[in-house]
Structure 1
Amino acid sequence: MAVLMGRLLRACGARALDQDRACRITAAYLKAAQPRAWTGAPRGAGAAAARRYSSESKDELRVRYLHGEDAGIVVVEINRPKAKNSISKNLVKLMFEAVDDIKKNNKVRSVVLCSVVPGVFCAGADLKERAKMAQSEVGPFVSKARALITELGNLPVPVIAAIDGAALGGGLEMALACDIRIASNSAKLGLVETKLAIIPGAGGTQRLPRVIGVSLAKELIFAARVVDGQEASRLGLVSRCVEQNKSGDAAYLEALELAREINPQGPIAIRMAKLAINQGIEVDLSTGLAIEEACYAQVIPTKDRLEGLAAFKEKRRPNFRGE
């Protein structure tokens, strides 16, 4: 481990990155590489149930840990039908708890973030709740929402946003923090904050340009433009656009299929690949290659790597255990 840290620090320093930045990169790498123990049954554990919505406030967020062949997939469902899934204090609290549970569970292999409310993914901030806040409360709440979205993006496993309806303002910022976005053609996506004389405050001004480029991001943010799923796909805002079905969950079903495609792959390798990409995209190529080397070194001593080689030799499907 010390050798790997040294390699990474030397590579970072050789490219004139300051020492503090190099240390932050290494710390992120070490944190993500650290194995986490499963501390017990997670909130919301149970068999996959029918997707339906409820107006109960205690049910504003549902977390389903799937079983059987889908074991390892976690479905996080936003459920605030009366408020169009808008981001409230309670929803932020529930999502922090869900993210924390997922981080502590080393059996999780992928996460699907979606809505069970027809026609909406997340309409952004809860403006009715916001209107009741004192001016001094707004800044801290936005900071907490920003921290939540950052934590969502920092989950060590792939996170897929299934956008079957409107993803506006903070709702789109939440989706932008995910690794992959899938939208139905009827979805509506946009950072519309300038209509309210504010700006995106939970990462939108930073993540959107990284996804679609600076010029297009400025155009969408300045004009508060809303695009449908097809246009979002053309812009590169989502990786896939699927035709909406009668039940209104086409993007969710597509996201679930993608999670099933990811599920049988080596879980440590997936985590290291995500870390290498996320950290490497923020630095120059030479430093990124050093990060990749350090992450690759983490998979060499694993039992999963040996299992992969044995399965290939024996012409059978590998049985990866995350070890």
Structure 2
Amino acid sequence: MSGTAFPDVDPTRVTTTLTDGVADVRLARPEKRNALDPAMFAAIVRTGEALRTTPGVRAVVLSGEGPDFCAGLDFGAFRAMRNGERLSASVDLPPADGPARATGQRAAHAWARIPVPVIAAVRGNALGGGLQIALGADIRLVHPDAVLSVLEIQWGLIPDMTGTQVLPELVGRDVAKELTLTGRRVSGTEAVALGLATRVEDDPLAAALAMAGEIAALSPHAVRAAKRLLDAAGRVDLETGFAAEQDEIGALIGSPNQAEAVTARFERRAPVFADPDLR
């Protein structure tokens, strides 16, 4: 896939380009700080879910066009809430096939469900729902001056895009409560110190694309297996986790891509790996 978007995704909301195994996904509403309106929700969900089964994808970079990652809900959504309306509930999407059912939850959890690593490049604002979408990524590279906030409490709300379940795992239950109950803003530098982000970068997008390129050059079967195991860690009992580890290593040893990795290293050349068959 090349070009600017999946056929059923509004390119005025999200664009995607695939180059050398790296899917470069960009929220594309910079004039509104990439705020979340119904069209943006639909485009994010459709893109994230389509990438799960797109051939040739070995890593994903998620960023926002313009100065911000995503400033959260569009002001129109808050106006509608005063009348009891929830605009995200009206988004037309295919039925959900995973644990996330609500549109907002799907917009965040879709990235966690992608079987290859997802790297979020965050600069400017990542507020409320925008932060929760970034939390769906495996790795978050942030500008030191980025602004991140679990902002919902200041609008009389709670984070409902998977944030209450994901945040404690990253920062600990007490810090998750402090951030959620105050809605205070933290810099990219503090976000890393708290565990909310992975590391700071002066150019998060360039760093994310470089990291994604490195990952895309590795065995895609091993990368996918590693992500599966690490995602399960702490969510299954040790017996199950240890058994899964042995199942994965058993499937990798002697496989064509593993043999190619060994051969290429001995021959001091770049390996040539085959992508998984997604049929």
In the alignment, is residue 91 of structure 1 matched against residue 48 of structure 2? no
Give the match for residue 51 of structure 2.
Answer: 102
Deviation at 1:130, TM superposition (A): 4.3
Could you tell me which runs of 5 or more consecutive residues in structure 2 were left unpaired when the two chains were aligned.
91-100
Residue pair 1:280, 1:287 contacting (<8 A) in 2 also: no
Deviation at 1:231, TM superposition (A): 0.6
Q: State the secondary structure of the residue aligned to 1:205.
A: helix
1:187 aligns with 2:187: no
Shift of 1:205: 1.1
Offset of residue 138 of structure 1? 5.2
- Counterpart position of 2:95: none
What amino acid sits opposite 1:256 in the alignment? L
The residue aligned with 1:126 is: 74
Indicate the structure with greater helix content.
1
CA distance in 1, matches of 2:14, 2:74: 15
Do 2:80 and 2:86's aligned partners in 1 also have CA atoms closer than 8 Å? no
1:79 aligns with 2:32: no
Distance 1:82 1:313, change over 3 A: closer
Q: Deviations over 1:165-201 (max 9, x none)?
A: 1001011100111000000011000101111111000
What is the CA distance between 1:255 and its match in structure 2? 0.8
Output one character per residue of 1:199-251: Cα deviation in whole Å (capped at 9) or x when no partner.
000011111110111111111111111100111111121111123xxxxxx11
Whole-angstrom CA distance in 1 between matches of 2:196 and 2:164: 14
Residues 42 and 253 (structure 1), Cα distance of their counterparts in 2 relative to 1, 3 Å cut:
closer
Contact 1:111–1:259 (Cα < 8 Å) also in 2: yes
Counterpart position of 2:98: none
Query: Structure 1 residues 166, 254: closer, same or farther in 2, change over 3 A?
Result: same
Aligned equivalent of 1:61, options 14, 25, 28: 14
Pick which of 134-143 and 253-262 moved more.
Answer: 134-143
Name the amino acid aligned to 1:170: G
Distance 1:209 1:128 in 2: 30
SS of 1:147's partner is helix
SS of 1:306's equivalent? helix
User: Aligned residue for 2:185?
Assistant: 226
* TM-score of the aligned structures, taking structure 1 as reference length: 0.75
What's the Cα RMSD here?
2.2
Q: 1:129 to 1:220 in 2, by over 3 A?
A: closer
Secondary structure of 2:102's aligned partner: helix
Query: Which of 255, 262, 268 does residue 215 from structure 2 map onto?
Result: 262
Change (3 A) 1:286 1:113: same
> Identity of counterpart residues, as a percentage?
32
Q: Is the 8 A contact 1:130 1:138 kept in 2?
A: no
Distance 1:173 1:205 in 2: 9
TM-score by length of 2: 0.87
Contact 2:80 2:87 in 1 (8 A): no
Find out whether 1:317 has 2:276 as its counterpart.
no
Unmatched 5+ stretches in structure 1: 1-40, 47-56, 244-249
Name 1:114's counterpart in structure 2.
63
Report the CA distance shift for 1:216/1:106 in structure 2 as closer, same or farther (over 3 A).
same
Count, aligned residues: 262
- Partners in 2 of 1:100 and 1:177 — Cα distance? 13
Q: Judge conservation of contact 1:62–1:79 (CA < 8 Å) in 2.
A: yes
Alpha-carbon distance in structure 2 between the residues aligned to 1:213 and 1:89: 32
Q: Which residue of 2 aligns with 1:167?
A: 126
Q: Which has the larger radius of gyration?
A: 1
Question: Quick check: 1:45–1:65 contact (8 Å CA) kept in 2?
Answer: no
Query: What SS does the corresponding residue of 1:85 show, helix, strand or coil?
Result: coil
* Alpha-carbon displacement from aligned partner over 1:61-87 (angstroms, at most 9, x marks no partner): 111112xxxx10111111212321111
